[in-house]
């Protein structure tokens, strides 16, 4: 998170529940500090995420210009969250690598890869390599991948 003050543009990265941007804790102070009206952001954000299931954690990057106007880019939900849902667990392993909390099939990995490939940041990466990253994330969360 860039925290340049004064006349520089800054980037603010947050994870906001889809359709439910408003609460003070995550969004309010972070935006308020940079002089942006959080209500404006929340309205636009909720509008852009209206197709998503409510409260899906959605990473968003907010680009704030020196004149306090902003644009933002919405990305796909965190890979670890998707993996935990696919495996049917709520929490990841306390000691990943040593304990396994769930299993997931390669077909799940493929479906998650497809969701991730829609991200603009991933547009130039092969689906195969995206799937490899997803498998690595599964390892870091303690979810075992089987055929």
Partner 1 sequence: MLARFALTQRKCISRGFAFTAIQRTAEAAAAATTSSTASEVTQQAKQKTITSSAAQGAVLKGLNIYKEGKDPVALKDEEYPGWLWTLLDVVPEEVKEERVRQRLQRSREIKEANFMKSKKK
124 binds partner 1 (CB under 8 A): yes
101 binds partner 1 (CB under 8 A): no
Phi, psi of 122 (to 5 degrees): -100, 10
Q: Which of 9, 73, 115, 122 binds partner 1 (CB under 8 A)?
A: 115
What is the side-by-side order of every strand in the sheet holding 70-74?
Answer: 10-17, 57-64, 70-74
53 binds partner 1 (CB under 8 A): yes
- Rounded to a whole number of angstroms, the minimum distance from the CB of residue 134 to partner 1 is 9
- Rounded to a whole number of angstroms, the minimum distance from the CB of residue 111 to partner 1 is 5
- Rounded to a whole number of angstroms, the minimum distance from the CB of residue 21 to partner 1 is 16
Dump the DSSP string for 24-51.
Answer: TTTTHHHHHHTT--HHHHHHHHHHHTTT
């Amino acid at each position: 998170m860039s925290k340049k003050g004064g006349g520089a543009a800054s980037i603010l990265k947050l994870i906001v529940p889809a359709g439910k941007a408003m609460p003070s804790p995550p969004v309010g102070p972070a935006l308020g500090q940079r002089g942006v009206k959080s209500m404006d952001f929340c309205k636009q954000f909720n509008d852009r995420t209206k197709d998503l299931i409510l409260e899906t954690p959605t990473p968003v990057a907010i680009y704030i210009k020196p004149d306090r106007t902003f644009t933002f880019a919405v990305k796909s939900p965190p890979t670890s969250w998707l993996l935990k849902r696919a495996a049917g667990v709520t929490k990841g392993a306390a000691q990943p690598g040593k304990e396994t909390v769930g299993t997931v099939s390669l077909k799940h990995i493929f479906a998650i890869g497809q969701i991730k490939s829609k991200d603009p940041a991933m547009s130039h990466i092969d689906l195969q390599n995206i799937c490899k990253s997803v498998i690595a994330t599964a390892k870091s969360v303690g979810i075992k991948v089987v055929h």
